[in-house]
Structure 1
Amino acid sequence: MSDHELRYDPFDPEVIADPYATYRELRDRAPLYWSPAAGCWVLSRYHDVAAVLTDPITYSSASGIFPTPADVDMTAILLPMLVMSDPPRHTQLRQIVSRAFTPRRIAALETTIEGIAADLLFQVPLEDDWDFVSAFSGPLPAIVIADLLGVPREDRDRFRAWSTTFVQSNPSRGQLGVEVATALYDYFASFLAERRAYPEDDLMTALVQAEVEGQYLSEEELLGFCLLLLVAGHETTTNLLSNGVVLLAAHPESRERLADDPGLVPGAVEELLRYDSPVQGLSRTVTRPVELHGQWMRPGDTVLLLFGAANRDERVFADAEVFDIDRRPEHIAFGRGIHFCLGAALARLETRIALQTLLGDRSFRWEADLAGAERLSSGPVRGFASLPVR
């Protein structure tokens, strides 16, 4: 065990490049760690993170899910969002949104996603180096989200720019993404008005019309869900795909097995989610005094739950540092409990189809140029702003 001073800053470039050695030290030396850099407590072991996720009474989401400076109130900046709410309103919101965001609606996208993935890959200049993010992993979910909501595909570049800018913002350094959120709200406010006047068979119309026991989403709640769907639904898949092609390039034997047997891909997606989680962590606010690992957290304290560390916890996963496509992990990359990711099925579907498309041509193999890649600078989101491949 190292005797150097333990330090964790989610926005440290070295941590962003490779957080996993630091995560291991946190799990072993300080499973509940106070981070002066982030101004919050940090939990890194699987069972601790899972316990917090399933106790929304003690650990609230209403004050925000990303660590922010004490003088910044994200709830005053962003409109109400499902992930930033507690019961009983969360229960009502989830029921209403679930009426529109149905498994049937997601499953119906399969053929469309297959066509989008094939078309994007067809346009790639395979004989040259190309940017995987801008050419494939970024446009794919942007087009899918645009189709799902019913907005024009020509707006997908704008969607991608909004999403990336918002994710790259860093609340701990005063970058709040307010301008992006405002632009998005303005865009969807007019679109919602159009759907109320002229309904279509799309998610936006379904959201406007969805109700439970006479309750509908308010205008602010609708706009908040649009921001959530764009950022969470878009970035998760983009980064899962980008992280995935890097891993498969580094594990050619696994890539060959997946190419030989596409039926292995769904299980491999789960291992990708565990091994290099696109969402590395989200936070909660403590509502009552809690003693854990010999330390006290007080009401109002923020605790950052490191999904990325929990998913590498050797107390739960044998050979946790080994990438194994035969593993069937009970990971928490999508969270757990009442805030389990509503878009998990869509992310899984998109990633499975994308990987099967990439692996479908036996002559197509790739290398990732990590030296020329640019990592996202957002601590909680792990992925690439650009990823050259050849």
Structure 2
Amino acid sequence: MTTASVVFDPFSAEFFEDPYEMYRQLRDEAPVYYSDRYDFYALSRHSDVAAAFKDFETYSSARGVTLEEIQGGEVQHGQSIIWMDPPDHRRMRSLVNKVFTPRAITAQEPVVRERIAYHLSRVDPSGFDVVSDFAALFPVEVITSMLGVPEQHRQQLRLWLDEFLQRAPGQIDSGGSDAMMKSAAFYYDLVQQRRAELRDDMISGLIAAEVEREDGSRTSLSDEEIVGFCILLGGAGAETVTKLMGSAVVAFSRHRDQWEQLRADRSKIPAAVEELLRFDGPVQYDCRYTMRDVALHNTVIPAGSAVMLLGASANRDERAFTDADTFNINRNRAEAQNLGFGYGIHSCLGAALARMESAITLDHLLDFMPEFTVDYDGLKRVSMTSVSGYSNVPVRVQS
């Protein structure tokens, strides 16, 4: 095992504030890192992380995808595809793909535009907080409306999610298990309502669908399985775009020439979204459990180990990307796989929806605040499990 001067603590205040120097040292000095304090291994180079994402037979998700889940010995949040390996994962993914279709996502575009316009109309046009006044509010409304959550309950689900993900520096275990239980109970009650009366929403689609089981039989999904889908989709849909848009405004404030390029040519917006995901994406890592010994970089990771796959580090790996620490919306995207939404069988189900929301948001912000300044002293980062971004991005809009 490589002895390195870097100390990698993904639960430290330093990590929450800016993990990228830690990542650089890991890639250079300890591409297979072992944490004595927390008993996990970490992979940081792009080639290793991408390969591990694809090798589900070696790096299993069935024990959990966070350190606390793997070390706790059981998954707490119901039977959902994020905590499955094939063949169960393959069957469930095929099922959810039938209700989370490209057509269903495209149909949400008017909703996305209306929600963005609504929340922008409510902020102070001379200055506001991009995250707390705007980007935190609309993504959860989009995904929960798809699920079938009544409007009056959508923001409460976001608050419960934030409470569950929140971590004080040094804290591994969630202090928000009660919030997760409240979310699960809410979705369980909603599933019962839809079983009594189906509607045109995703929960009703999941109730009506059948899945092929391991023994070849076909059955409907259980309440627990549907609730697991709701928690997964609702959580990812609420967090990803919120955090990405806060980071986007900060990145463009520091690279104003590229904001001007977007103003001049809106066709560059999709490429800008991809670069934002690569440069400072919301998901920092995913955890896996090794099913066999893994020999890598003169180190053996024993079977039964927790391994952090540092996708955000891989996306800054100069071995994969030219000038990897440079924000460049014109970069050659064919150089390497962007791991911002994962890779392999567990790539993000809602990636297309998140990309669409992010692109539409940037388009609106270009019109709403063509000239702006960020109050850097007022920036505040979140401290959350595996999620990076800002809780506060105050801006002044210049007329």
Q: Structure 2-normalised TM-score?
A: 0.92
Q: In the alignment, residue 341 of structure 2 is paired with which amino acid?
A: F
Cα drift, residue 280 of structure 1: 0.6
One-letter code of the match for 2:294?
Answer: V
Work out the percentage of aligned pairs sharing the same amino acid: 40
Q: Which residue of 1 aligns with 2:67?
A: 67
**Partner SS, residue 373 of structure 2:** coil
In structure 2, the CA distance between the partners of 1:320 and 1:169, relative to structure 1 (3 Å rule), is same
Deviation at 1:262, TM superposition (A): 1.0
Structure 1 residue 145 displacement after superposition: 1.5
Distance change in 2, residues 1:235/1:74 (3 Å) = farther
In the alignment, is residue 107 of structure 1 matched against residue 106 of structure 2?
Answer: yes
Q: Is the 8 A contact 1:16 1:379 kept in 2?
A: no
Q: What residue is the counterpart of 1:154 in the other structure?
A: 152
Alignment: residue pair count: 385
Contact 1:281 1:305 in 2 (8 A): yes
Displacement of 1:162 in angstroms is: 1.2
Q: CA deviation at 1:264?
A: 0.6
Deviates more, 1:308-317 or 1:174-183: 174-183
Aligned Cα RMSD in Å? Answer: 1.8
1:366–1:37 Cα change, 3 Å:
farther
Report the equivalent of 1:265.
Answer: 269
| Structure 1 match to 2:90 | 91
Aligned match for 1:359, one of 363, 366, 374: 366
Shift in Å, 1:134: 1.9
SS in 2 for 1:42: strand
Aligned residue type for 1:166: F
Larger mean CA deviation between 32-41 and 366-375 belongs to 366-375
| Number of the residue aligned with 1:382 | 388
Name the amino acid aligned to 2:88. R
Per-residue deviation at 1:71? Answer: 5.4
What is the match of residue 191 of structure 2?
Answer: 192
Q: Would the alpha carbon gap of residues 210 and 109 (structure 1) be closer, same or farther in structure 2, given more than 3 Å must change?
A: same
In the alignment, the residues of structure 2 paired with residue 191 and residue 291 of structure 1 have an alpha-carbon distance, to the nearest angstrom, of 47
Q: Which residue of 1 aligns with 2:117?
A: 118
**1:5-44 matches, cutoff 5 A:** 5-44=5-44
Distance in 2 (CA, whole Å) between partners of 1:169 and 1:64 is 18
| 1:345 partnered with 2:352 | yes
Q: What CA distance in whole angstroms lies between the structure 1 residues aligned with 2:157 and 2:373?
A: 28
Measured against aligned partners, the alpha-carbon deviations of 1:32-56 in whole angstroms (never above 9, x if no partner) come to: 0002243210100001001101110
Superposed displacement of residue 172, structure 1: 5.1
Cα distance in 1 for residues equivalent to 2:68 and 2:173: 9
| Paired letter, 1:354 | T
The equivalent residue for 1:244 is 248
Give the 3 Å change call, closer, same or farther, for CA 70–233 of structure 1 in structure 2.
closer
Whether the aligned pair in 2 keeps the contact of 1:281 and 1:308 (CA below 8 Å) is yes
For 2:373 and 2:234, locate their aligned partners in 1 and report how far apart those are by CA, in whole Å. Answer: 29
CA displacement 1:201-250 (0-9 Å, x = unmatched)? 11111111122443332211111111111211211111111111111111
In 2, are the aligned partners of 1:267 and 1:328 still within 8 Å (CA)? no
Provide structure 1 residue ranges, at least 5 long, that are not aligned to the other structure: none
> For 1:241 and 1:156, how far apart are their aligned partners in 2?
20
Displacement after TM superposition at 1:73 (Å): 3.0
Does the 8 Å CA contact 1:62/1:85 hold for their aligned counterparts?
yes
Kept in 1, the 8 Å contact 2:8–2:22? The answer is yes
Cα pair 1:63 1:74 within 8 Å, conserved: yes
Summarize the Cα distance change of 1:8–1:353 in structure 2 as closer, same or farther, 3 Å threshold: same
- Residue 166 of structure 1 is matched in structure 2 by 164
Is structure 2 residue 312 aligned with structure 1 residue 300?
Answer: no
Structure 2: distance between partners of 1:70 and 1:114: 39
1:210-289 matches, within 5 Å, as 210-213=209-212, 214-289=218-293
Counterpart in the other structure of 2:375: 369
Question: What is the DSSP-based 3-state SS (H/G/I as helix, E as strand, rest coil) of the residue aligned with 1:68?
Answer: helix
Distance in 2, Cα, partners of 1:150 & 1:230: 11
Alignment CA distance shift 1:384-1:114 (3 Å): same
Q: Report the CA distance between 1:309 and its aligned residue.
A: 0.5
Confirm whether residue 80 of structure 1 aligns to residue 72 of structure 2: no
Question: Aligned letter for 2:390?
Answer: F
Which digits, 9 at most, give the CA deviation of each residue in 1:166-208, with x for residues without a partner?
2214795332532111101111111111111111111111111
